[in-house]
Structure 1
Amino acid sequence: MKYVSGPYFEPDFDPVLDRLGTSGVVVDNETREDCSLVKVDSVNRDGVLLEMVQLLTDLDLVIYKSYISSDGGWLMDVFHVTDQIGRKLTDPSLPGFIQRALLPFQRSGSPKFTTCLGNVVGPGGPDVSDCASLEFTVHDRPGLLSSITQVLVDQGCHVASGQAWTHNGRAAGVLYVTTTGADGAALHPSRWARIERLVNAVVDARENVSGERRWVCMSAPVRGRVHTERRMHQLMHDDRDYESGPAPTPVDEEHFCMGDRAATAARSVHRTQTRVTIENWEERGYAIVKMTSRDRPKLLFDTVCALTDMHYVVFHATAGAQGPLAIQEYYIRHKDGRTVDSNAERQKVSRCLVAAVERRASHGVRVEVRATDRSGLLSDFTRMLREHGLSLLRVEIKRQKEEAIGTFFLVTDTGGEVRPEALCAVRARVAEMGISLDVAKGAPGWPPVKKTRAPATSPADQERPRSSLGSFLWSHLGKLSNNFGLIRS
């Protein structure tokens, strides 16, 4: 994400205010040389902002900046995006696909879209409706995923896709499984109940802490599942992974002034701590959430997801980055109209936001794995890691046509750095199983290659004091009020 000098409305954003009679999605490739602008104006319904950010993420797009305004009955958003290779969005079917995906009554029967990375996405995200689901939250330990997947193999199940995360000593996972048998009893509810009991027994047999909390649930195939990554956040939040560790550190307010001094300081940060400050703007009835963290893929989705699942509504927001430092500012209220009233609530919301960011922070060595998909593949690979004294921090597995693709973040069983010779030994062993393993230098396409540069800022502009979103937003309040009949602030 690329942050600009203070929050603003895009040059072509104001005309949106004059055409609010219909919902629409516009992909603008003319305003900026270095990215496309995805402009959305639609009826503001519950959860639509998260759906929009989730959809752009599923489409393998990189969001550099975002400007969000959803006060009253309409939502108006502008996202600066490219694909993962740094290119503008030129597919003429993309605006229509996004618009249909945001309208629930148009989703059924809508065509799917193939992303720049070859992933096939439907209007509601990847389709897993024909798979059963195994969900779990448990104390993290070496060999956990290997033990669970071995149970699935023993019961004639195949892991088609899924994810597993670890954070603050806790582990959570969502695995989508199919049966390998051809008998009709394979889909009987008693089958899933038996697998759930066996996984619970494996987890319980390895727990040494009295009263240790854990949760396992196996469910039959069903349509309309919660998006996988959102479900992962929900599982870890319900498991209270945010409770551990010290209280979050307040943000450095200089990073919100957007001058050269702040930009230079941001670029010099080597290991950026996630920081949160929450204040109440009593005159307008908003809680102001300011966040800084290391920039990374899917950061905006993780933050908006956390706020949405805590039942906070985002009315206005801006997000971007200076070098490696991501900067986000949100104006929110609880669904019941409250702001963040007490110190205890501010602490909880701050902890939850930090946890949402840190769960997907990249630690350990990242390896990319490919193989022809087959039954027991994940169990075989994780067992091999276990035998070589390696543990998993985060896992994402999926299927493209007949190939299984996995991303694994690895450390040693003691939490240390993985030595190159250990990776070479694992690579040699899994090659015998038909599995290719490559060490990734970073997230593919992150940061994407920028083919052109944005216009340089003049020296006069660099010295001019920058305002925060609050002063900027309310300078436009009169114009917004004239166009929105239902604004309540």
Structure 2
Amino acid sequence: MQKVCWPYFDPDFENLRERIYGPTCRVSIDNESMEDCTVIKVDSVNKQGLLLEVVQVLTDMNLSISKSYISSDGGWFMDVFHVKDEHGNKIGDQRVIDYIQQAIDTTKETLSSSSPSSPTAKAKVYTNSTLLLSEHYNEHTAIEMTGTDRPGLFSEISATLADLHCNIVEAHAWSHNTRLACVAYISDQRTNTQIEDRSRLATIADHLTMVLRAKSTSGSPRATVPNQQEVKASDLQGGEGMTTNVERRLHQLMLSVRDFDEPASESSSPIVMPMGLGPDRNGQNLRISIEEWNEKGYSVVNIKCKDRRRLMFDTVCTLTDMQYVIFHASAFARGGYAYQEYFIRHVDGCALSTEGEKDRVMKCLEAAIERRVCEGFKLELCANNRIGLLSDITRVLRENGLAVVRADVETQGEKAVNAFYLKDTSGNEVDMEFVERIKREMGPINLAVQTETKRHGLAEKPNTPFSSLGGFLKSQIERLSHNSIAIE
């Protein structure tokens, strides 16, 4: 019998790089070199997705990245970030510095395990219209939903879960190009634990499916997203950074329902600028271009758009989840605009080869940038949590002609903290004079209203529903107070 020989590998070979270069991940945080920002340097053995993990750590801490240089050729990842805190200052808290260093040090371990935020965990999100609720997130059941958006849909989802005696512990929803993606964490109303009864899960799935597939009652034709009204269990991981992981999942879900495609109903309409990214006073808009660097085999992606928080996370997340590897990159902000340049190849080692592929990448990046930018205003409300609270609040907003285009709902102890990004359901711009009137009518109640996109020159409409929204909300809050629900 012929003897089979296997190649010999020296067991010390895997540790050779570490012996030569030191630890496989080195993080240095410098607060002295720059006057107005903290400099974070990362040197590490490179792995696909490492850049996204590092950027995610920084965005978890609500840091803004004003400048960045990235290089990951030759199997080694080197990166420099210039970051500022939420107040535009250096990082002054040593505990934050220690946490960032520790979190980045552990990203290599996270990437080597099958974490839910890895690209392989989301390879096949949906294949048909079958609804599945089979996995749980800690003590809560995590549900993902996608479908065609319509005014009041998020309110209907909240009401359905309340009717089914489900407590919404946390929920995040995005709407873009008539598509909706929502991730919600629910628990049993009676036990406040995850729902394990298979028949009950099937009932929840059936009811949510009917809500997602219901036709618009407005009478106007709407674009549909065939076979993509979905409800599915989520395996998102918890712990620190959970919100950012949810945001990555929302990007993936919106990508799965092709929100980068313009709705069919708008194909014959005049060209409308992307929401929140219309012409500024200089007439400049979002610009994305892709060029070829044939000598090195890279495709070079250039992005120019209005600067905002989490922008780099959104673009890096999209390229990573589309299975592109970022080898080099540079990013900086100037004069309210962000400029990003990425040198990429597909995971198979090839540059973008066709115009169709380039066009798709540009559309997906454009959609990723637009998803967070909402016209209208942001409303924040804090209340003692109870079953049906979210349903009550969203119903009031819907009955007063306001559509939720984005929502972030979280439970902090006994409190429910709700943030809604709202627009007029008729498609008109919201006159901020009416918003200010709402704040005055709410009196001592802690209602925060923040303008997301402010337009001037709008005439006041005397019969608009916003004129009575403050009083209506106040009456609803008083009714909730009679049920021992305090609103701050």
Moved more, 230-239 or 20-29: 20-29
Q: CA deviation at 1:96?
A: 3.7
- Count of matched residue positions in the alignment of Structure 1 and Structure 2: 387
Are 1:130 and 1:222, in contact at CA under 8 Å, matched by a contact in 2? no
Equivalent residue for 2:414, pick from 357, 380, 402 = 402
Are 1:302 and 1:357, in contact at CA under 8 Å, matched by a contact in 2? yes
Residues 1:322 and 2:334 are matched in the alignment: yes
- Please give the alpha-carbon distance, in whole angstroms, between the structure 1 residues aligned to 2:256 and 2:89: 38
SS in 2 for 1:34: coil
Are 2:187 and 2:193, in contact at CA under 8 Å, matched by a contact in 1? no
SS in 2 for 1:227: helix
Letter in 1 for 2:333: A
Residues 1:145 and 2:163 are matched in the alignment: no
Residues 1:440 and 2:450 are matched in the alignment: yes
SS in 2 for 1:283: coil
- The residue number in structure 2 matching 1:61 is 63
Q: String of CA shifts for 1:195-236, please: whole Å, max 9, x gaps.
A: 111011122233576964232224277757992111111111
- The residue number in structure 2 matching 1:235 is 253
Are 1:195 and 1:218, in contact at CA under 8 Å, matched by a contact in 2? no
Are 2:151 and 2:403, in contact at CA under 8 Å, matched by a contact in 1? yes
> 1:357 and 1:211, CA in 2 relative to 1: closer, same or farther beyond 3 A?
closer
SS in 2 for 1:103: helix
Letter in 2 for 1:91: Q
- The residue number in structure 2 matching 1:6 is none
Are 1:25 and 1:98, in contact at CA under 8 Å, matched by a contact in 2? no
Residues 1:91 and 2:94 are matched in the alignment: yes
SS in 1 for 2:150: coil
Letter in 2 for 1:436: N
- The residue number in structure 1 matching 2:211 is 202
TM-score (norm 2): 0.72
Are 2:30 and 2:39, in contact at CA under 8 Å, matched by a contact in 1? yes
Which structure 2 residues correspond to residues 312-351 of structure 1 after superposition, within 5 A?
312-351=324-363
- Please give the alpha-carbon distance, in whole angstroms, between the structure 1 residues aligned to 2:190 and 2:442: 26
Q: CA deviation at 1:65?
A: 0.9
- Please give the alpha-carbon distance, in whole angstroms, between the structure 2 residues aligned to 1:221 and 1:182: 21
- The residue number in structure 2 matching 1:471 is none
- The residue number in structure 2 matching 1:217 is 231
- The residue number in structure 1 matching 2:464 is none
Q: CA deviation at 1:414?
A: 1.0
- Please give the alpha-carbon distance, in whole angstroms, between the structure 2 residues aligned to 1:338 and 1:185: 44
- The residue number in structure 1 matching 2:307 is 295
Residues 1:377 and 2:389 are matched in the alignment: yes
Structure 2: 5+ residue runs without aligned partners?
Answer: 1-19, 114-135, 272-278, 454-488
> 1:372 and 1:429, CA in 2 relative to 1: closer, same or farther beyond 3 A?
farther
> 1:128 and 1:60, CA in 2 relative to 1: closer, same or farther beyond 3 A?
farther
- Please give the alpha-carbon distance, in whole angstroms, between the structure 2 residues aligned to 1:228 and 1:302: 12
- Please give the alpha-carbon distance, in whole angstroms, between the structure 2 residues aligned to 1:391 and 1:184: 31
Letter in 1 for 2:103: I
Q: CA deviation at 1:311?
A: 0.4
Are 1:278 and 1:288, in contact at CA under 8 Å, matched by a contact in 2? yes
> 1:240 and 1:105, CA in 2 relative to 1: closer, same or farther beyond 3 A?
closer
- Please give the alpha-carbon distance, in whole angstroms, between the structure 1 residues aligned to 2:338 and 2:165: 45
Structure 1: 5+ residue runs without aligned partners?
Answer: 1-17, 109-126, 249-266, 444-489
Q: CA deviation at 1:303?
A: 0.2
Which structure 2 residues correspond to residues 378-393 of structure 1 after superposition, within 5 A?
378-393=390-405
- Please give the alpha-carbon distance, in whole angstroms, between the structure 1 residues aligned to 2:439 and 2:138: 34
SS in 1 for 2:139: coil
- The residue number in structure 2 matching 1:458 is none
- The residue number in structure 1 matching 2:28 is 26
> 1:193 and 1:317, CA in 2 relative to 1: closer, same or farther beyond 3 A?
same
Letter in 2 for 1:94: Y
Letter in 2 for 1:300: M
Are 1:364 and 1:393, in contact at CA under 8 Å, matched by a contact in 2? no
Q: CA deviation at 1:420?
A: 4.8
Q: CA deviation at 1:52?
A: 0.8
Are 1:366 and 1:408, in contact at CA under 8 Å, matched by a contact in 2? yes
Which structure 2 residues correspond to residues 121-270 of structure 1 after superposition, within 5 A?
129-182=138-191, 186-207=195-216, 212-213=225-226, 214-219=228-233, 223=237, 227-244=245-262, 269=281
Are 2:291 and 2:300, in contact at CA under 8 Å, matched by a contact in 1? yes
Residues 1:283 and 2:287 are matched in the alignment: no
Are 1:71 and 1:316, in contact at CA under 8 Å, matched by a contact in 2? yes
SS in 2 for 1:375: coil
- Please give the alpha-carbon distance, in whole angstroms, between the structure 1 residues aligned to 2:105 and 2:414: 29
Letter in 1 for 2:382: R
> 1:64 and 1:389, CA in 2 relative to 1: closer, same or farther beyond 3 A?
same
- The residue number in structure 2 matching 1:10 is none
Which protein, 1 or 2, shows the higher relative CO under an 8 Å CA cutoff with sep ≥ 6?
Answer: 1
Q: CA deviation at 1:99?
A: 3.1
Which structure 2 residues correspond to residues 90-109 of structure 1 after superposition, within 5 A?
90-92=93-95, 93-104=98-109
Q: CA deviation at 1:170?
A: 1.6
Letter in 2 for 1:399: T
Q: String of CA shifts for 1:10-61, please: whole Å, max 9, x gaps.
A: xxxxxxxx95544111111011011101111112112111111111111111
- Please give the alpha-carbon distance, in whole angstroms, between the structure 1 residues aligned to 2:321 and 2:35: 36
Are 2:288 and 2:303, in contact at CA under 8 Å, matched by a contact in 1? yes
Residues 1:352 and 2:352 are matched in the alignment: no
